[in-house]
Chains A and B, each alone.
Chain A
Amino acid sequence: MRNFAGRLIRHEAREKKSARSQDPTVFQSCEKLRLHLTTIMGSPGFRTLLLRTLALATREVPWLRAVRVRADGSLEGLEELQAQHDRDTFLEGGVVLLAHLLGLLVAFIGGNLTVRMVREIWPKISLHDLKLEN
């Protein structure tokens, strides 16, 4: 799952570079997933999923406890954390967070639907060799 999340973040980083966005890349990935998933689940549904994601991720990356989830399911506080940690540590935290979110999706709706959803959000990403187990 981390491989999957890492690919998404790297892909997003490339897109971000071209778009000159100021948001941390992991923000961008979660935000894109949020926009897609709230249509299906509603904001309260996505927020609950993200809270669970954070609970799982902080077991591995304790400093993620400082991240908050807004009512609409968006993340808050990552900019401050980015300033406190070096680039690799911060990126690793982002990968863990995204990996848990994707992991929950795979657990609930299965690998096929999760990959299908990711492809809808990031149509240019290459996932041919990716194998997800439910």
Chain B
Amino acid sequence: MKKQKPAAKPAAPGKGVSKESKVKIRKLPTGVRGLDEILGGGIPEFSFNIIAGTPGCGKTTLAHQILFANATVKKPALYFTVLGEPALKMLRYQQQHSFFDEAKLGRAVRFVNLSDVLMEGDLSAVLDEVIRQVTAASPGIVVVDSFRNVVRQAIATPSEADMQWFIQSLAQFLTSWEATTFLVGEYVPEEMRDNPVFTVADGLFWLSQLTERNSVVRKLQIIKLRGQASVPGLHTFRINDDGLQAFSRTLGLGGKSMNPSRRRRRLSLGIPEMDKMLNGGLREGDSLLVAGPSGTGKSALATHFIAEGLRRGEAAIMALFEERPEGYADRAASLGLQFKTPQEQGKLELLYLRPLDLSVDEITQQILDAVKRVGAKRLAIDSLVGFEMALAPGFREDFRESLYRLIVALTGAGVTILTTVEVEDNFTALQFSHYAISFLTDDIIRLRYVEIDGQLRKVMVVIKMRGGNHSKDIREYIITDKGVVIILPRMKDYEGLTTGIPHRTGPRPAQADEAAPEPKAKK
């Protein structure tokens, strides 16, 4: 007997639309570095969006960037302006940005002034003019700047019904004409609740600039974006010659991680005894914090770590906040470690990051760019104190959180990080870092001064090594004038080394007066 073909299974209730039948929403590029990623891939095509914020926070520049990134002769962009936004001045200023392509003006990017029609004082006349222009040009992008002025100038006190009708009609028409729309307006957050434009909008881009003491920081939030998942939260952005540049809170590395099945190698720090203390070296993809007071050799250790990587063919980045690259390279040379050749070969970059008012995300982006540029496997950040000083005061509150994101993002991508931090020795306790960031790091090495036999000597100890055993020894070390770190055997004849003022418990060896064992490294 012939088997009957089973009937097609009905769709399971609650399963929703099958993947194949879902409409695919094309995402338009914003032309703003970092913003597409924040938006979840770009601007949904045919969406009706608002770019809102206080005066001077970059709304018009953002609109222009989106405009020039998408406008073509076939699918032009229409930019409606009104009184209060003089077009000549706008052209004058916007052409200073690199995204401004004068070849697109006229055919691909068209400016239309609505002030004549606004004189009629009627929103329907404004709508008719927009419809007339859009019907004639069939644009891919439409911008109204400032939308708030359009409404204000058309009617001094528009009723809610007028506004609802106007916005609904405008949104419906522009979407039907397959235009992706941006209404630019000066709004304050309190208006979001009552203004119907915020209800109708598919996307809401909120720009702000916050002043704290003498510095200003710009932030961007995607409050709403229908149809796709954007990265939540406040993202910093900067306006420079290239226009806006946004810095995603996820740093664009959210999904990237090292292959978990890959065995993590042990990386040498370039100091054999220290590798032994670390049970064979630093694990690849670890973050090591070297904490100690000024002059204990944190930078020297960082230099050794990078130099050893270079010697093994691993490209590296040094993010410097306290010393200029030339000085750093010269000092490395005096320690017998050559940085100039790898720099010339593109294997090493010394990033000097000292301008004030930077955000952590900007610094992080610069580091990430450099890591990507040279294919770095090792990164040294020297030091966290300098890093914090380079930030605008408003960003210092976020320092810990941002640092966490930076470290997680980079180590997740397989970069091994050595970070230095200056801590004060108080001779009563062994502090690791005043940032309380120890939890961020996989491994901690503490350097400190101890008073022994009338000398201020240096000791080191491995405090923590996540996922592995390590030496528990407290060991004295010496940095010679050639930069060689000599680690002496475990100190067994003392107690209380971690306090900095140990007591001798062993026999006192006979010793002659001697010069300090550690002259300064030659310049």
Contacts and interface: CB of A to CB of B under 8 A. Distances in A.
Contacts of A41: 86-88, 113
Given A42-B83, A45-B87, A45-B88, A112 B102 contact: yes
Given A40-B87, A112-B102, A116-B102, A45 B113 contact: yes
Instruction: Classify chain A's interface size.
Output: 10 to 19
A43 interface: yes
A87 B105 CA distance: 37
Is the contact region of chain B dominated by helix, strand, or loop, or is it mixed? mixed
Contact of A42 (B102, B105, B106, B114): B114
B88 A110 contact: no
A63 interface: no
Nearest 6 Cβ contacts at the A-B interface: A42-B115, A42-B113, A40-B111, A108-B88, A109-B91, A40-B87
A120 B106 contact: yes
Contacts of A110: 92, 95
Interface string B436-473: 00000000000000000000000000000000000000
Contacts of A28: none
Given A40-B111, A108-B88, 9 more contacts: A39-B110, A40-B87, A41-B86, A41-B88, A42-B114, A43-B116, A109-B88, A113-B95, A113-B105
A120 B102 CA distance: 13
A108 B89 contact: yes
A116 B106 contact: yes
Contacts of B91: 108-109, 113
A111 to B, nearest CB: 11
A42 B88 contact: no
Interface of B: 81-83, 86-89, 91-92, 95, 102, 105-106, 110-116
Contact of A39 (B82, B88, B111): B111
A117 B113 contact: no
A58 interface: no
A108 B94 CA distance: 12
Contacts of B113: 38-42, 45
Q: Which of B83, B88, B92, B114 has the most CB of A within 10 A?
A: B88
Contacts of B112: 39-40
B139 to A, nearest CB: 14
B95 A38 contact: no
Interface string A39-63: 1111111000100000000000000
Interface in A90-128: 105, 108-110, 112-113, 116-117, 120
Contacts of B92: 108-110
A132 B272 CA distance: 68
Nearest to B89: A108
30 contacts: A39-B112, A39-B113, A40-B81, A40-B87, A40-B111, A40-B113, A41-B86, A41-B87, A41-B88, A42-B83, A42-B114, A43-B116, A44-B115, A44-B116, A45-B86, A45-B88, A45-B113, A45-B115, A108-B88, A109-B91, A109-B95, A110-B95, A112-B102, A113-B91, A113-B95, A113-B102, A116-B102, A116-B106, A117-B106, A120-B106
Nearest to B100: A113
Contacts of B87: 40-42, 45
Nearest to A112: B102
Contacts of A120: 106
A89 to B, nearest CB: 31
A43 B81 CA distance: 13
Contacts of B95: 109-110, 113
Contacts of A43: 115-116
A44 B102 contact: no
Contacts of B116: 38, 42-44
A42 B112 CA distance: 8
A44 B86 CA distance: 10
Nearest to B133: A39
